[in-house]
């Protein structure tokens, strides 16, 4: 590709405070001996240069939490960071799975990913769910008691499962949940997908007066067709005292501010939250698996990283 085309393509992307590649490309181009390119892109370079120079001087934002899942094959998640919650009570959504602490449901694959596996279990089983003998097992990992944080960029690279009845999620819950309850503690869903929507993920917040089906957010439709389960994608959240924004693969698709809440509702996103990675099966929103559903299914997490604001 011609240099001018390369720079034009890069300019179409939004520079990020967390990735200065674009700024470095501009600096390199500024020093190159291609007068025609410099002339044709002078205005664009000047405009973006003003943006890039301060950001480059500041350097990348500090990582305050990093999990690369580089353990040996079959090893369990780091217990110093993650707790595996257990139970089959439906988790407020009439989910069908029993969350276990077994390495059969959450383990390292040996190539740099955490695997959360949902398994259909033979019936009957000794595991009891809210509806009787459990039909599925899966895993739900939380950092509660180990790590929480307020404001910054929260990011994970994930390959989600697919099929009717699957419900993978990467999300946050207010660390004060034990004292104030839900939804007063606040909930921020960075990524949720339900199996009947293979090309759509959702970003949502829940709080007092806007919880459950009344949560506020937006869907993101995968560009170029296909399904999110076909490959890894980066799901990100930028959260400050004044707004929350959602991204997929660097594309911002929703920004929420306190003024966007229902009249009289409280903005409860002003305190530390902890992380959750889980793979639910069934429930009120996705519906139950059907004859088209295939198990086991896996959710692969390449990394989770949190950057300071």
Kindly list the domain boundaries of the chain, sorted by start residue: 3-58, 63-307
* pLDDT tens digits along 73-95: 999 999 999 999 999 999 999 99
- Give the model confidence (pLDDT) of 233-256 as tens digits: 999 999 999 999 999 999 999 999
C-alpha 152/C-alpha 306 separation (Å) is: 7
CA 245/CA 252 separation, integer angstroms: 7
Q: Which residue, chain included where needed, has tokens 């307020």?
A: 150
Residue with tokens 């005292």: 241
Q: pTM for the complete prediction?
A: 0.82
Is it the case that residue 42 has pLDDT exceeding 70? no
> How far apart are alpha carbons 87 and 36 in whole angstroms?
65
The count of other CB atoms within 10 Å of the CB of residue 46 is: 9
Backbone angles phi, psi at 75, to 5 degrees: -75, 155
DSSP-derived secondary structure letter, 228 = G
Which pLDDT does position 60 carry in this prediction? 60
- Helical residues (DSSP H) of the chain, grouped into ranges: 3-11, 21-30, 35-40, 42-58, 177-180
3-state secondary structure of 158: strand
Q: Which of 67, 97, 155, 187 is catalytic?
A: 187
Q: Kindly state the DSSP code that residue 213 receives in the 8-state scheme.
A: G
Q: How far apart are CA 308 and CA 299, in angstroms?
A: 27
85 counts as catalytic: no
**Is the pLDDT assigned to residue 30 strictly greater than 90?**
no
On whether the CB atoms of residues 54 and 22 are closer than 8 A, the answer is no
Provide the mean pLDDT of the chain.
Answer: 86
Closest CA to 238 of 251, 225, 224, 220: 251
Find the catalytic residue in 192, 197, 243, 309.
192
Confidence of residue 28 (pLDDT cuts 50, 70, 90): very low
Q: What is the pairing mode between strands 136-138 and 233-239?
A: unpaired
Mean pLDDT of 212-234: 95
Rounded to whole angstroms, what are the CA distances from 78 to 69, 86, 194? 9, 16, 28
Lowest mean pLDDT among 29-33, 150-154, 167-171, 286-290: 29-33
CATH code of 63-307, in short, is: 2.60.120.200
Q: How far is CA 241 from CA 148, 205, 206, 244, in A?
A: 16, 15, 16, 8
d(CA 154, CA 305): 6
Bridging pattern class, strands 114-120 and 297-307 = antiparallel
Asked if the model's pLDDT at residue 136 lies above 60, the reply is yes
Give yes or no: 68 in active site. no
Q: Spell out the residues 6+ positions from residue 132 whose beta carbon is closer than 8 angstroms to its own.
A: none
């Amino acid at each position: 590709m011609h240099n001018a085309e390369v720079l034009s393509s890069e300019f179409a992307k939004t520079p990020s405070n967390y990735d200065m590649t674009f700024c470095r490309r501009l600096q390199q181009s500024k020093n190159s001996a291609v007068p025609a390119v410099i002339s044709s892109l002078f205005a664009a370079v000047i405009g973006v240069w003003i943006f890039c120079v301060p950001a480059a001087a500041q350097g990348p934002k500090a990582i305050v939490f990093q999990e690369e899942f580089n353990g040996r094959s079959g090893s369990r998640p780091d217990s110093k960071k993650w707790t595996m919650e257990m139970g089959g009570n439906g988790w407020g959504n009439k989910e069908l799975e029993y969350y276990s602490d077994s390495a059969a449901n959450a383990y390292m694959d040996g190539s740099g990913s955490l695997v959360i596996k949902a398994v259909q279990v033979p019936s009957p089983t000794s595991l009891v769910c809210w509806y009787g003998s459990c039909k599925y097992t899966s895993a739900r990992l939380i950092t509660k008691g180990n790590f929480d944080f307020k404001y910054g960029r929260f990011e994970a690279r994930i390959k989600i499962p697919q099929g009717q009845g699957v419900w993978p999620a990467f999300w946050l819950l207010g660390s004060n949940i034990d004292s104030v309850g839900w939804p007063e503690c606040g909930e921020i869903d960075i990524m949720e997908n339900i199996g009947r929507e293979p090309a759509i993920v959702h970003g949502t917040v829940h709080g007092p007066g806007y919880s459950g089906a009344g949560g506020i957010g937006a869907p993101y439709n995968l560009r170029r067709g296909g399904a999110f389960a076909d490959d890894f994608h980066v799901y990100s959240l930028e959260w400050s005292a004044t707004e929350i924004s959602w991204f997929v693969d660097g594309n911002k698709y929703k920004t929420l501010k306190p003024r966007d809440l229902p009249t009289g509702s409280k903005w409860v996103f002003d305190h530390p939250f902890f992380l959750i990675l889980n793979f639910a099966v069934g429930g009120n929103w996705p519906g139950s698996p059907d004859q088209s559903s295939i198990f086991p299914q896996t959710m692969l997490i390449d990394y989770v990283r949190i950057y300071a604001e």
